[in-house]
Structure 1
Amino acid sequence: MAQLLSDAEIEAQASKLSGWILEGSKLETKRKFKDFVEAIAFVNKLVEPAQTAGHHPDIEVSYNKVKITLTTHDAGGLTQKDFDLAREISQID
């Protein structure tokens, strides 16, 4: 099981992530697209990095908006896995 990060570690790593916010024990980002097709195309781009990491985000789609939430459920909060995947997701257009 992945080890939970301390509050100081979480704050330090979160400060280096653009477009992500801390919501309790979760990292969250929202993206807006031209339409539903573009939103789903973006979601499909998340599959490979998530599978490779063995770490899967919670995803909500509402027409042209995508909300991605990361937390390590089995650890009960934020771990290094969440920040590593957030950095990868941030690089996806």
Structure 2
Amino acid sequence: MATLLTTDAIQSKLSELPDWSLNGKTITCTRTFKNFIAAVDFVNRLVEPAEAAGHHPDLAISYNKVVIELSTHDAGGLTEKDFALAQTISAID
């Protein structure tokens, strides 16, 4: 099982991810696109990196907005896996 990060480690890692915020035991990012098709295209580009990492975000699509939430559910909170995937997601246009 993955090791939970300390509060200090979480804050440090969040400082490197300006588009992400802490929401309880998750980190969250909202991306806005020109339309629904662009939003779904972005979600489709998340599939390969999420599968490769063996870590899958919780996603919500509302027309042109995609809300991404990451948490390591089996560990009960935030781990290195969440921040590694957040970095990868942040690099996807």
* TM-score normalised according to structure 2 size: 0.98
Give the aligned partner of residue 51 of structure 1: 51
Q: Which amino acid aligns with 1:81?
A: K
Shift of 1:2: 0.6
Q: Percent identity?
A: 57
- SS of the residue corresponding to residue 13 of structure 1 reads helix
Give the aligned partner of residue 28 of structure 1: 28
Shift of 1:70: 0.2
Shift of 1:88: 0.2
Give the aligned partner of residue 83 of structure 2: 83
The answer for unaligned runs of 5 or more in structure 1 is none
Q: Which runs of 4+ in 1 moved over 2 A?
A: none
Listed one character per residue, the Cα deviations across residues 47-76 of structure 1 (whole Å, up to 9, x for unaligned) are 000000000000000011000000000000
Listed one character per residue, the Cα deviations across residues 9-44 of structure 1 (whole Å, up to 9, x for unaligned) are 111111111200011111000011111000000000
- SS of the residue corresponding to residue 46 of structure 1 reads helix
The answer for unaligned runs of 5 or more in structure 2 is none
- How many residue pairs get aligned? The number is 93
Give the aligned partner of residue 5 of structure 1: 5
